[in-house]
Structure 1
Amino acid sequence: MIRISKISEKGNVRSNNEDRVGYFINDHAYLGVLCDGMGGHKNGDYAASIAINVLSW
C-alpha cells in the first residue's frame, strides 16, 4: 500500500499560493508532479493548473 499526501505553503511574500501539486495512479505507474506557479508573473497559478490538468489526461 502506498500513502500519498500533499502540502504547499505560500510563504510570507505573496497573498496567495500559485503552486499546484498533483498525483496520478494507473495500473502501471505512479506519477507525482509539483508545478511552481512562478509568483510575481502574471497568471502563474493558472499556468500551473493547466500543467496539472494536461498531465492528468
Structure 2
Amino acid sequence: MSAAEDVAEVAFAVGYDSPSQFSREYRRQFGFPPGEDGRRLWQASALSEASP
C-alpha cells in the first residue's frame, strides 16, 4: 500500500469524503502533510524499538 492510499484510508475512516481536503486541513493543523508525519512517526518508533 502506498502512502497516498494510506492517507486516503485514514481520511475516509475519520469521515472525510476527499483525501485531498483531509491532507490540506491536516497540514494547516499540524504544519506538515499526513504522509510526512506518518514517516516521521514510523522512524521514531523504529528508533525507540532499537534502543535498549
Task: Report the TM-score, using the length of structure 1 for normalisation.
Answer: 0.31
Task: Report the TM-score, using the length of structure 2 for normalisation.
Answer: 0.33
Structure ranking higher in helix proportion: 2
Structure with higher RCO (Cα < 8 A, 6+ apart): 1
